[in-house]
Chain A
Amino acid sequence: MTKKKKKTALVFFPAFDWAISPTHPEREERLLYTQDQIFEEGLLDFDNIVEYKPGIATVEDINRAHICVPDAQSVTMEPHLISAGGAITAAEKVLSGQADNAFALVRPPGHHAMLVVHGARGFCNINIEAIMIEYVRKKYGVKKIAVVDTDCHHGDGTQDIFWHDPNVLYISVHQDGRTLYPGTGFPDDFGGPNALGATINIPLPPRTSDEGFLYALDNLILPILDDFQPDLIINSAGQDNHYSDPITDMRFSAQGYALLNEKLSPHIAVLEGGYSIEDALPYVNVGIILAMAGIDYSHVREPDYNSAALKQSDDISRYIEKMVQYIGNQWKQRHAIKEKLVGSAKHAGRKKNIYYDTDNISEQQEETVRICRDCGGVVTIDSTADTGNRIFAVIIPALSCDACRREGEDIFEKTEKGKYRHVYLQDKDRGVYLAK
């Protein structure tokens, strides 16, 4: 098999001296056997695979993507800054032209971290992809970005951050939320009123195997990407869809992950979850790295791989076909749906209850967005957590129109600190972050 070789930057940072707690899945040895396998297969000796040290993300980097309560320093530790820094380094190598694509094999993950951060949820404090995305928008002026999240859990954090953003297409393929944490991510969750279709959720039934994933990829994800025409494709490369993962119930394999990566051909892949540290991660990561670098991966296989035993049922196949068709139709009608949904309203609002499982915090949010035809719309959030912190935030979106910016600045100006711990203003285009 001859493939076109690509120059692949690998940011590998296993953080061997850090764990959430000694027996937590997110612990020191998580990438130990992955490191062994990468080293033993000699991947770093390939001329077109170059390893880089991760950078360290700054408070400024975090404040482009999050509203941290009370501030970024209080909700992050060095491991989070390095993990986000690793994602930024990966993006930096691609956008500066030093590499064709890049893989940030870093931990801890980030896709459950939402826009407002009161603490850690789903092993995540800050959203490393979102921080990377805001970094490349600010530094390189990248306009249209697609995130394909192949972690087994719905990336509710990434969805939340880009919910109103028509320029970031977030596609999540995950185990059905009725059967797994965080219990969200259904086909009708389709993006905010100004960004309908920019969020796509593909919940797959438990025990879906390679066949089902690749069906959704070929028949839904790739066609949508073709329509959307992103300047940059990012893979949130969670590996907990693997058949051996201890906390999920899917049947994806190393070959499946590699093939998905080859077809998707992301510019940047960022590791998310994946906790089968001995039986899956070593093989899945080798497969992904080879696929990204355009090197033959057809001989990569888990020692216990058995395609017959992993085959999905016909019921599952039929179910997926139907769902793919439903979501595909929604996508085609996204503009019409918007007209119907929005009507003549000036603003739209929603209420959210958010639970931080890792830190045991409950939060209530009231979010309002200005209906806008010219940009993602200015967003305001009133958030109260049972830590006693209540905050108010104004977010002026990336590529904002003048009207939304004026309205945002105006609201920030007029909102008194009063009952709030802080009132924040985040202006993505101007790189402004204020707190009072």
Chain B
Amino acid sequence: MILGIDVGGTHTDAVLVEGCDVRRKAKVSTDASHLLTSLSRAVKAVLEGENPLKLRRVVLSTTLSTNAIVQGKVDKVGIVLPSGPGLSPSHFQLKDPVHFVSGYVNHRGIEMAAIDEDEIAGLASTFHDQGIRHAAVVGKFSTRNPLQELAIKDMIGGRLRHVSLGHRLSGNLNYPRRVATAYLNASVWETYNHFVGQVLDFIREQNISAPIYILKADGGTFKISDSAEYPVQTILSGPAASIMGVLSIVSCHEDAVVIDIGGTTTDIALFARGVPLLEPLGVTIGDYKTLIRGMKTKSVGVGGDSAVSVEDGNLKIGPRREGVAAAFGGPCPTPTDAMIVLGLTSIGDRQKAAEAIDAVAKEMKSPVEETAERIVGQMCGIIASHVGQVIEDVNNRPVYTIHELLEDARLQPRVLYLVGGPAKPLSANLGKLLGCSVFVPEHAEAANAIGAALARTTAEITLLADTERKVLTVPETGTQVKIPAHFKMADVIKAGEDMLRREAVNMGADEEDLELEIVESQEFNMIKQFFTTGKNIRVKIQVKPGLIAVLQ
């Protein structure tokens, strides 16, 4: 048995999955100020009368870090940046003061300026005096050579609770994002670790001895102990949970669109040949662009409960939500009311829905039915045009080789999975607009918790072999090792696969169920004065996001 839990913004869901079946599920509302209470209520509801010792694994997706960041309930962070020249310092504005210090490495990872130990020691005292207990250290190109970050951590770490290092959070290049990511990790570290402590206590009280995993934004899991080091990897795991859930219910192998229509917003995601599409660099949370590997999702400000109004004779839907639909006693007309009027669904009070839509119809000077149709049509139109844009974005992604440019592989989804309250009523309309066959999966209301329960452990590693310098660098593990001058692409891939396999098993992956995928492999000759002096080999390998089981 597997226990999956998703502590979301509005609801907390728990499911118990046995084999390929959902054995039990529970939904409670989330108490934002006491997440543990919500979690324990949902878990107790599904575990009642069950033998907790039969649990094989527990997976938790939580909105804790996301909320802390979005609401600004974060700790002060000492931000140390050996950045070197480049973008103006004015572009690095975070909630806390930024300290630019001496030292940096270049694009090949060669040290261009050393760090100044006295300067760092001074900073350590400053942090101490200011009561700062968490720091983020991020060097430009630190993914190409992490030694300066590691050295600074050694110098300041002693007096701090925790130091977040840029190179560990992603192998991708993007300094401003790396800075933001490390800052966020440091800023939620204490809050998150406090929560982890509570969760572990609670799990123990329930007599659960199974290993506990946390869901990441990329729809993969990692051990709760790893999450304590990298809490920022857990942001936006909610949407990832739902998408993985849909995947586990429908077993998709083609290009597809997933649309989750909620009360206030509608979320769009894509599958490319059955694999959820990730953001190329990292997800965005609030004003922060990060390097957190996460699913590409787009949130649109329309939902079943969006307020419908008339402005200058034009219908306006959302982005406001005033409350529930009029049919449920809400204050204003909503798309849900329009769906009720059209007989697309039989929920709520039909009379109240009709009255609300009638008010809109009068303003529009058109019949009630026609008005309701226009509301539903307009809502579907908005969603469909955003879907079109997301697909176009993906298809317009730049490529850098002639082979890829001429190949021009394009995403062409012909299947649409619809989840959320208004999924069934809107399915025909949306399917037609998008030219897709539509499926409304079963158990969709618990897709998030199911997705968490069944998600595979994921990890990614980036390798840069510079045979001129005879160095192999792997930022995600913070390693730099010597390699012989004759090291080849095959050697890099072999070293990478071994490392990643070890890493993934450490993170909780099942050795039997590890699907490694080479995401990137490039090899360049380095030439000085017409002579080849070495090779620059770049490889990225991932554990493919996926599921440990598919529901039947």
Contacts and interface: CB of A to CB of B under 8 A. Distances in A.
Given A36-B107, A296-B90, A78 B406 contact: yes
Q: What range describes how many residues of A lie at the interface? A: 35 or more
A104 to B, nearest CB: 13
* Residue in A52, A290, A299 with the greatest tally of chain B CB atoms within 10 Å: A299
B174 A45 contact: yes
Interface string B314-353: 0000000000000000000000000000000000000000
A152 B166 CA distance: 39
Q: What range describes how many residues of B lie at the interface? A: 35 or more
Interface string B511-539: 00000000000101111011110001000
B36 interface: no
Interface string B174-191: 111100000000000000
A78 B402 contact: yes
Interface in B65-104: 84-90
Nearest to B143: A40
Contacts of A78: 402, 406
B525 A28 contact: yes
Contacts of B530: 23
Contacts of B531: 23
Interface string A1-26: 10000000000111111100011000
A40 B173 contact: yes
A290 B90 CA distance: 14
B443 interface: no
Interface string B152-180: 00000000000000000000111111000
A295 B174 CA distance: 17
A39 B141 CA distance: 10
B49 interface: no
Contacts of B403: 17
A29 B526 contact: yes
A12 B525 contact: no
A37 B85 CA distance: 11
B157 to A, nearest CB: 25
Given A23-B527, A40-B107, A32 B536 contact: yes
Given A17-B401, A35-B400, A53-B398, A42 B107 contact: no
Contacts, number: 106
B174 A42 contact: yes
B99 to A, nearest CB: 16
Contacts of A15: 400-402
A303 B108 CA distance: 13
B536 A29 contact: yes
Contact of A23 (B88, B107, B401, B532): B532
A56 B404 CA distance: 13
A334 B235 CA distance: 67
A118 to B, nearest CB: 24
B174 A27 contact: no
A327 to B, nearest CB: 35
A370 to B, nearest CB: 42
A398 B87 CA distance: 43
A32 B529 CA distance: 18
Given A23-B531, A29-B526, A42 B405 contact: no
B133 interface: no
A406 to B, nearest CB: 43
Contacts of B406: 78
A282 B141 CA distance: 13
A286 interface: yes
A51 B398 contact: yes
Contacts of A33: 107-108
A56 B529 CA distance: 32
A54 B140 CA distance: 29
Given A28-B524, A32-B524, A246 B529 contact: yes
A51 B174 CA distance: 15
B30 to A, nearest CB: 32
A426 B521 CA distance: 45
B490 interface: no
A227 interface: no
Interface in A62-80: 78-79
A301 interface: yes
Given A28-B525, A54-B405, A282-B107, A14 B174 contact: no
Contacts of A23: 525, 527, 530-532
Contacts of A295: 88
Nearest to B526: A29
B400 A303 contact: no
B399 interface: yes
* Residue in B175, B524, B529, B531 with the greatest tally of chain A CB atoms within 10 Å: B524
Given A12-B400, A296-B90, 8 more contacts: A16-B400, A29-B526, A42-B87, A45-B176, A51-B398, A52-B398, A54-B405, A297-B88
Interface of A: 1, 12-18, 22-23, 27-29, 32-33, 35-37, 39-42, 45, 51-54, 56, 78-79, 82, 246, 278, 282, 286, 290, 295-301, 303
Q: Which 3 A-B pairs have the closest CB atoms?
A: A29-B524, A42-B176, A301-B85
